[in-house]
Amino acid sequence: MATSRDDRDELAEIRRLARPIAGPSDFDPLIDRIGEARFVLIGEASHGTSAFYRWRADLSRRLISEEGFSFVAVEGDWPDCYQVNRWVKGSTDHHTPKEVLKQFHRWPMWMWANQEVAEFVQWLREHNRASGRSVGFYGLDVYSLWESLDRIIRYLRDARPDDLESAMDAFRCFEPYGEDPQSYAWVNRMVPDDCEDEVVGLLVEIHQGGSDATDAEAEFDARQNAEVIAGAERYYRTMVRANGESWNVRDLHMADTLDRLIKHHGEDAKAIVWEHNTHVGDARATDMRRAGMVSIGQVVRERHGDDAVVLVGFGTHRGRVVAASGWGDPLEVFEVPPAREGTHEDLLHNGAPEQSLLVFPMTRDGPWLSARRGHRAIGVVYQPELESRRNWVPTIMGLRYDAFIYLDETEALRPLRTLVSADTAAIPIPGALSV
């Protein structure tokens, strides 16, 4: 790599900040940095790297067992994750974590139906049982329009039959599209005839209806499914414009869901979020800002203040990753080539221990922390032949995160199943990373 004076200064700063990590006990400096923060957002540089999931789970275990964090919220669909939530709180619907995780049907299932998540949710169930707590596991994402509508219809049919008609109005509006979000998106671009009015009517009905005092979480589930339907309808209606608006619809929905979860859990609640770096990191420290795009990390900082929020990024120099070569394609294991020269991961490879934690000072004004360099990002679709042109986000590390975990060489995630189908796939954002 180049050895300019700027590089030498940045490498010196990395060496000062980086501390080797071998296990969860080495997170003490990060736990101290988190302190009284109520929101800890933990990223990943890809959706298919085993070590990102395992180290993220290790940090979350400490935050839950030692610092009293209330729930984990992930970049997953609300209905599927809610089944996991019920299971970790003692539901006997499924006997093993693998059984409940195999209920994830929307592509890419491997993001949550994998061995790494199975091990964490097994621990969470055992922790809840032993401690008497009810630490939850929830999904923040917006894609599950039809699944959420089905959940609301079932809930209202059983608990509030007098309110069922508004849900059926929404169902009848969406029915012609055959549970195909792409069809809904394109038809309404060519001939505007959307279901917004029906969705608003359903949302109002759900929120104004009587609450079920005997099962507050079931009532919260119904209300959140209504919010998902509203967010998903906006997302699919705007995604075909290819202008970043649908990205913002999605991340703002996730930030709003996080706020609803915090309110639901009480004034002392504290949240852990698992999402891709592209969502967790502050978008203002990247080229996303010029495109008018936001991230959940940015929004949570703006709403709750820097002192209440800690953003933790992840990165790797090389290794293997699970992804697909195209949207909806079967998963594959790809080789991740060594980081491009001059990128953040290249500097970390030359200056940091192979497994290391970097907790950033509050000033964030060092030569490396303030430098704008490429930072690796791999989504659910990965095309190694385009590595040199894609997968690198210009980033000022000290502004994007509060801490960073660097792993020099990483291995692929371990999915619970290897055959996948695009039958119920969400559709990607044109011109944006599929993360």
The pLDDT, as a whole number, for residue 208 is 76
The pLDDT, as a whole number, for residue 266 is 95
What is the three-class DSSP state of 408?
strand
The pLDDT, as a whole number, for residue 288 is 95
How far apart (Å, rounded) are the C-alpha atoms in residues 273 and 258?
A: 9
The pLDDT, as a whole number, for residue 431 is 35
What does the pLDDT profile of the chain (435 residues) look like in tens digits? 445 667 899 999 999 999 999 999 999 999 999 999 999 999 999 999 999 999 999 999 999 999 999 999 999 999 999 999 999 999 988 889 999 999 998 899 999 999 999 999 999 999 999 999 999 999 999 999 989 999 999 998 988 888 898 889 888 888 888 777 777 776 766 555 678 888 888 888 887 766 555 678 988 999 999 999 999 988 988 876 666 789 999 999 999 999 999 999 999 999 999 999 999 999 999 999 999 999 999 999 999 999 999 999 999 999 999 999 998 899 999 999 999 999 999 999 999 999 999 999 999 889 999 999 999 999 999 998 888 778 999 999 999 999 999 999 999 999 997 644 444 444 343 333 457
Are 360 and 401 in contact by the 8 Å Cβ rule? The answer is yes
DSSP classification of residue 397: H
Could you give the angle at which helices 296-304 and 245-265 cross, rounded to 10 degrees? Answer: 50
Helix spans in 102-215 (H): 115-131, 145-159, 164-174, 181-190, 196-208
Are 295 and 401 in contact by the 8 Å Cβ rule? The answer is no
Are 400 and 281 in contact by the 8 Å Cβ rule? The answer is yes
Comparing C-alpha atoms, which of 168, 281, 160, 264 is closest to residue 212? 160
Comparing C-alpha atoms, which of 33, 38, 5, 3 is closest to residue 19? 33
The pLDDT, as a whole number, for residue 315 is 98
DSSP classification of residue 389: T
The pLDDT, as a whole number, for residue 426 is 43
The pLDDT, as a whole number, for residue 174 is 86
The pLDDT, as a whole number, for residue 211 is 57
308 phi/psi in degrees, rounded to 5: -90, -5
